[in-house]
Structure 1
Amino acid sequence: MTDERPVPEGVTWIDDPRDPRVRDYFQLTDVALRRVLEPAEGLYLAESEKVIRRALAAGHRMRSLLLTPRWAADLTELVQPALAAGIPVHVGTASVIEEMTGFHLHRGAIAAMHRPELPEISDVVHDAQRVAVLEDVVDHTNVGAAFRSAAALGVDAVLVTPRCADPLYRRAVRVSMGTVFQVPWTRIDPWPGGVATLRELGFTVAALALADDAVSLDELEADPPDRLALVLGTEGDGLSPRTVESADLTVRIPMGGGVDSLNVAAASAVAFWAVRDRGRS
């Protein structure tokens, strides 16, 4: 133990980065946390104090907490309720935790959280005017960034297709700054068959894609429908032809400088800003 800073009573010091009591943090990848530990729900990792607090505020349940000594001493508002509820709180030096997890713990705190059961689409979009659909976006950073933009720019719900990266993967959660817990979301399956489901629920479905018959985002911004579902595609290939054909309209972001498109995270921010419900801004 190289850090003698006092920590709260009841915490467990971890000196061995392969201690079986902290196996959630070293033995299992994001995929394994989701599929192996508890197949009915699984787990995910929430990194940093702010993200953990947002997860708890959203009603998610903590399985265990892992901190460096400084944060164990400072975050008594997280530590004491966890200990009182019988949730294990582990403390290790920064070097032990880095060897354990394989990455540097920037904010000194990480929690293993129980995955919530995903809600039905109809429940997620019941009161929504603006919905984002992420089709097969495989980069966790882009998923997290899209959620952060959705939270900031008035998107009421996010739907992710079956092959889209999981919003609860550690990097996606961290990049989103915990807004994956703030914006209601669920998976839409099958896809693109789900376009018909959205239409039945009263949404105009707009595909963000390059196409000869695409309308400018400026036109959509000037006269947006009351309920709009904006579909954004995967990195590189964009939306599938079937999705574009199924949508009510195709929309493109006007470009200059010889550039034909933006990164999906940047495109999401531009599109969300343009179609935001100004009555609620």
Structure 2
Amino acid sequence: MRRPARTLLLGAFAAAALSALAAGAWLVLAPAPAVIAEEPLPLPPEPPRLADGPEAERCLGLLRTDPEQAYAVAIAWQAEGGGDGAAHCGALAVLALGETQRAAEQLERIAARSSAGAAARAAVFAQAAQAWMMAGQASLAFAASTLALTLTPEDPDLLVDRAVALGTLGRYREAVVDLDQALAIDPGRAEALVFRAAAWRHLDRAEPARRDIERALALDPDNAEALLERGILRQLAGDSEGARMDWERAIELAPNSATADLAMQNLALSEAGPFRR
């Protein structure tokens, strides 16, 4: 089952996570800001349900169109005994409004106390992990992902989430272990191959990094993150022209993204002088 929570931060989180793993190609780049002011954060297409019924439908349905109203509905629903379902919708509304740390704390509490099934609780822990990543707290994201994996240990999305947290913490060997497991479960997961390539690169393992990135691009030729990473690997190998082509294509595919920002910075640095890692 593909966990909806992974989609939660696919825009704001995935690019920032890739930045954390891929940063250092030219100079150490900070992750892109996770929250764009005045824009609500993206939410999963189908949040894990801790409750059903008309109140849940209304509250969850408002998350995308009016998170402030969703929060108000969640508070009213909770006052009427809405329990974990109301609390969960309220936490997602807080996240959509950009209060990432507060949302992460709430989501962790809800997942810990809920009497829902293992899969639903794991999904809420995973949402907490992603919110912690957005808040710049990779160690807490790692802890929340680990709690999720105790509930559903064979979930490749959770394994990728934890690997990203590990990579952000500089724990690349451990990240590779999680990505190995995720790819054993789902060999066609291009994003896992991209993250593992970046981890291999940081471990000075250029050949497995190249193999992984070529596999990722064979699966998804228009994967902007994979092109960014291949450009880095090509530059390290002295292929400046190949690197330039990859970075320009990444910008073309994802023009308004943190991936494009990194590609543009690498292009500028490539033109400015010798490569430095």
TM-score by length of 1: 0.25
**Larger relative contact order, structure 1 or 2 (CA cutoff 8 Å, min sep 6):** 1
Higher helix share: 2
The structure with the larger Rg is: 1
Higher strand share: 1
